[in-house]
Amino acid sequence: MIRRPLFLLLLLLLPRYSCCDETHDEPEVPPYRELMVMNALLPGLGMRMLGNDREARVYYLALPLQMAGAGLTAAAVLLNGNTITTEIEHRDGQTRLFGFKNELSVASKLMLLGGTGLSLYGSLLAAYSSYAVHSDYRVRYGLPGDFSAVTPPRERISMGAVLAAPFTPSHVFNIDVLPVIGLSTLTGFSIEEYGKMAEYFRKEQVAFLGLDVSPFAGLGLQVLLAATLVTANAAWEELAYRGYVLQASGAVHSSLSFAFAHLANMIVPGVTVEGTLMQTLAAAAFGFYAADRVVRGENGLQRMMALHFWNNMISLVLGYLADPESDQLFAVTIRL
């Protein structure tokens, strides 16, 4: 005899077939809240509830990717018998809550990067899944009365357009993006740090993930690594907070939730409390600006993806040139 939970699971996974009756009633409108909650628990389930089984199968990969990323990250830490210390460290005017007991090996660093990449692209699939379900529901049924939409219903942006947004000239070279990059990202480095960047190319060898390489090889590897990770990072955050939360809950909720999410960075080993608090304040300011541009501007979501990408990308690359020994991995700092 099939137990009830297993039976329900089989009903969920099997394709839906109409009965033999030739007359079909109008399909029942699925409850919006239930739809979004179910999709948050299992990315892709909301799309299946809307009747798009084929697309839903792609989003089902989100959770396995995130779990694989978490597993690879844990394995990277444990590979050389490493442990995370919980002693609060005060050094150079900075406070760190956690750190690694031992220096990570090259193999551990590569595994950590791999785990980060898997987690980020899993998060991208999950975020696009929520964005797609929300957008399709709005276009098809409209939002329930207790939700105040800040923009009219729009056809959703394709995943291809999302990934291409940072490299589309019209999304980069405009009044919403270039001035912000010039005023915030480039001016966030001190004169001393720019001097160190000039010294970078005078060195015979530089460090990259614990390896000694030529300056040009180090720069090329850093650009490739940063572009791979930042593409997913910028896309999933913009889809989640400006593509979905902004549309469902408004600018204040989306901006503050985006900012407070950055507070979790202070528990990452080696990341400072002060740096995290500054990043959180900067993220709140960025969130309100991005929300305004998405609501009022043309192609606002794609432009904010481009701005988010290039802010993080430039910060990572210039930060590496200023201090290649810092081994940032994926610690992106938004400077005020």
Per-residue H/E/C for the chain: CCCHHHHHHHHHHCCCCCCCCCCCCCCCCCCHHHHHHHHHHCCCHHHHHCCCHHHHHHHCCHHHHHHHHHHHHHHHHHCCCCCEECCCEEECCEEECCEECCCCCHHHHHHHHHHHHHHHHHHHHHHHHHHHHHHHHHHHHCCCCCCCCCCCCCCCCCHHHHHHHHHCHHHHCCCCCHHHHHHHHHHHCCHHHHHHHHHHCCCCCEEECCEEECHHHHHHHHHHHHHHHHHHHHHHHHHHHHHHHHHHHCHHHHHHHHHHHHHHHHHCCCCEHHHHHHHHHHHHHHHHHHHHHHHHCCCHHHHHHHHHHHHHHHHHHHHHHHCHHHCCCCCCCCCC
pLDDT at 103: 77
Instruction: Tell me the pLDDT of the chain (336 aa) as tens digits.
Output: 444 444 434 434 444 433 444 444 556 788 998 999 999 999 999 999 999 999 999 999 999 999 999 999 889 888 767 677 777 788 877 888 777 777 778 888 888 899 999 999 999 999 999 999 999 998 888 877 656 566 666 789 999 999 999 999 999 999 999 999 888 777 778 888 899 998 999 999 998 988 899 999 999 999 999 999 999 999 999 999 999 999 888 899 999 999 999 998 888 887 888 888 988 999 999 999 999 999 888 899 999 999 999 999 998 999 899 988 876 554 444 333
What count of residues does the chain have?
336
Give every CB contact of residue 80 below 8 A, 6+ residues apart in sequence.
102, 104, 105, 107, 108
Backbone angles phi, psi at 96, to 5 degrees: -120, 130
Among residues 146, 188, 212, which one has the least CA distance to residue 286? 188
Q: In this structure, what token pair is assigned to residue 190?
A: 């001190």
Burial of 206 (0-12, 13-18, 19+ CB in 10 A): buried
Q: What pTM, to 2 d.p., does this model score?
A: 0.86
